[in-house]
A and B are shown apart, each in its own frame.
Chain A
């Protein structure tokens, strides 16, 4: 018995799909290993400044807010309406929601309420958006809504897409916000762009003075004003639907240039951004510096094998392509679902490493036979790291946002630091914590 895998060559021979599909065909139990980390629905919802979150669902669905709400200091912003069989059968809980929102409003601490429902209401077909509008009018506080419904997590509108939409639905196209035209929004991040990012300098020459992110807003009003920005730059596939929404609702143009760690792709992205903004962005200097840093890293760690997990802020295929381009051996990558944006990367990988193995971190055979995974010296991502704790494990800092060539420098630093100062998996789990 051994962990099942597919090669890049096998995946590349398949017909491209416009939806997410399972690497192994889908008919498997899932092993939710103790290595998934990063932002989930609740933690992402908490990026909405000055807001409270009302979870409406069975006790079990709200459970994950428990520890982490305390840890991250937003326990006072979380409220729970726990449902029981009877209230579901009668639908009586729907009448309690306005009362709960009224209570939250009367606390006087919050400018908006985000109501979150679960698989249960998704299955019952509750008109959550309509309910939110009605309650907002009734109670007199902005209300935005989302589902936390993992039953649709494999689709194009999974819970993480919906919660991002719930936040950007609060954007407004107010008049008399002239500074908005000098700003561009970065959508799809969990943190403000790192200080000193090359993007600030590159865009400064184009007349863009400010790069706004949801996480960078300190007030609800500031977040609403993001609707006045010149355009939206979508850096993560989960935010693509937000770009389309905002174009339709507020007339904001948008461009999808997902975070990449491959120098040629980044350069190409900047060219597309130049064209989008009808200006010139020259990144030759940044690219050269990055390629030099990449060569130095590859020389320093010659012979080291780096496996790429899914608990990373980026696409594992993209990161593997970057490493292989620097002549670093990649024994395998983790990917459970193939998403539409993966196909170009699979095609590119097929040219340089057709025998590269793709495993799923949640597949039962991986969980049952971790010793049969190929050997690696460094496991990138805590999900991969869980399966090989004798290797160096590099956890991804989900609370930082990188873009462009800076992302490569940051990734090299993360790996370098992991090699120089290795830390145990459990120790790093305590720091990064689980998906919430």
Chain B
């Protein structure tokens, strides 16, 4: 049954991906939710939140706001909070509540920008897709708003939700001066294609060869059929490392955005648990977050490949 999860818990949702993508960019990020959605971000999906400077708030939407469409109140709340700090931008992130009543967040962002003078934009997430889709929308929205900043190459997707284990992506990123746009996950590829159109900067999908991935690759041993379950950037990099010492048949399978340009023929995009379970039966070694275990074939050896978009950061 599509959408029914018996073994897996839900992934980090699209709004978490959007918040994560914008979190360190110096803006005021407002999740337009009643409070529960922001609890997910703060509690499970954004480890940088703890002890950090204040840049992420909930709009605290209430029933009467949705019934009467009190967008003016939303604007007043955001403007009041914006006055408490110095922000480069203001981002309004969508959630199920505002999505189902059709709130025009783009119009609200425009009104906020007029009132505060701070560049503002919205991200139309709905809580119904996983984080990678929200990341893609947020990166695109940001790039379009601040396009001149992207006339030189940069690294995209260095967020906790994209990493394997607890890789320190900030330090890994600082070791390289990219000549082309580098995406750690598929989430930013659409934005990078847009940048290529505007500035001609090439791009690639490439997660760093972190010490944790190199160590994990040693576990491949003599396995003949390997399944890697993670986001595409991590999956591709781990596959490349394993192939230096192994000729195994390797599938990168993911519930997250899979970009055809960087996928191999055998790679899979899982739409549900059943597809993962079926595929796992053909593998003798599986790299996956331990929380996938109940959905995987018990016959295959499981090598932990932590992904906090499932198991929490």
Contacts and interface: CB of A to CB of B under 8 A. Distances in A.
B95 A80 contact: no
Contacts of B43: 34, 64, 434-435
Given A29-B77, A84-B3, A151-B97, A368 B128 contact: no
Given A62-B10, A120-B100, A148-B36, A368 B54 contact: yes
A163 B166 CA distance: 36
B153 to A, nearest CB: 33
A145 B11 CA distance: 24
Interface string A21-48: 0000001111111101000000000000
A78 B9 contact: yes
Contacts of B15: 60
Contacts of B76: 27
A151 B61 contact: yes
Nearest to A87: B3
Contact of B13 (A59, A67, A85, A149): A59
B200 interface: no
Contacts of B54: 31, 364, 367-368
Interface stretch (B79-87, B185-193, B231-239): B79-87
Contact of B44 (A59, A66, A84, A122): A66
Give the 6 A-B residue pairs with the shortest CB-CB distance, closest first.
Answer: A60-B13, A60-B127, A67-B312, A66-B9, A29-B57, A150-B34
A15 to B, nearest CB: 20
Nearest to A80: B5
Contacts of B8: 80
Given A59-B129, A70-B291, A364-B84, A64 B6 contact: no
Given A30-B35, A32-B35, A63-B10, 18 more contacts: A27-B80, A28-B77, A29-B57, A31-B54, A32-B58, A34-B42, A58-B96, A59-B129, A60-B10, A60-B37, A61-B96, A63-B12, A64-B43, A66-B9, A66-B291, A80-B4, A85-B128, A369-B84
A30 B58 contact: yes
Interface string B41-69: 01111000111001001111111011000
B297 interface: no
Interface of B: 1, 3-6, 8-16, 30, 33-40, 42-45, 49-51, 54, 57-63, 65-66, 73, 76-78, 80-81, 84-85, 95-97, 100-101, 126-130, 291, 294, 310-312
B51 to A, nearest CB: 8
A59 B130 contact: yes
A236 to B, nearest CB: 20
A152 interface: yes
Residue from the set B45, B66, B84 with the largest chain A CB neighbour count within 10 Å: B84
Interface residues of A, number: 62
B9 to A, nearest CB: 4
A64 B44 CA distance: 7
Interface string A78-90: 1111111101100
Given A60-B127, A66-B291, A150-B34, A155 B63 contact: yes
Contact of A31 (B3, B34, B57): B57
A103 B6 contact: yes
Residue from the set B30, B33, B59, B97 with the largest chain A CB neighbour count within 10 Å: B97
Residue from the set B54, B59, B60 with the largest chain A CB neighbour count within 10 Å: B60
Contacts of B9: 62-63, 65-66, 69-70, 75, 78, 80
A69 B291 CA distance: 11
Contact of B57 (A100, A150, A364): A364
Contacts of B49: 34
Contact of A66 (B10, B37, B77): B10
19 contacts: A27-B77, A32-B58, A36-B39, A57-B96, A59-B127, A60-B15, A60-B128, A61-B127, A63-B10, A64-B43, A66-B311, A67-B312, A70-B311, A78-B9, A84-B128, A93-B3, A120-B97, A152-B63, A153-B34
Contacts of B42: 32-34
A123 interface: yes
Interface of A: 1, 27-34, 36, 57-67, 69-70, 75, 78-85, 87-88, 93, 96, 99-100, 103, 118-120, 122-124, 148-155, 362, 364-365, 367-369, 426, 434-435
B229 to A, nearest CB: 16
Nearest to B65: A151
A34 B313 CA distance: 13
B128 A58 contact: yes
A84 B128 CA distance: 5
B36 A150 contact: yes
A100 B4 contact: yes
B140 to A, nearest CB: 19
B100 to A, nearest CB: 5
Contacts of A63: 9-13, 16, 40, 44-45
Contacts of A70: 9, 291, 311
Nearest to B53: A368
A84 B133 CA distance: 13
A151 B66 CA distance: 9
Contact of B1 (A100, A119, A152, A364): A100
A169 to B, nearest CB: 22
Contacts of B39: 32, 36, 64, 434-435
Contact of A368 (B61, B65, B84): B84
A123 B100 contact: yes
A29 B60 CA distance: 6
A434 B59 CA distance: 20
Residue from the set A58, A69, A368 with the largest chain B CB neighbour count within 10 Å: A58
Nearest to A62: B10
Contacts of A365: 84
A82 B9 CA distance: 10
B151 to A, nearest CB: 34
A312 B84 CA distance: 29
B5 A151 contact: no
B13 to A, nearest CB: 3
Nearest to A55: B10
Contact of A83 (B128, B310, B311): B128
B73 A27 contact: yes
A180 B191 CA distance: 66
A59 B11 contact: yes
B311 A67 contact: yes
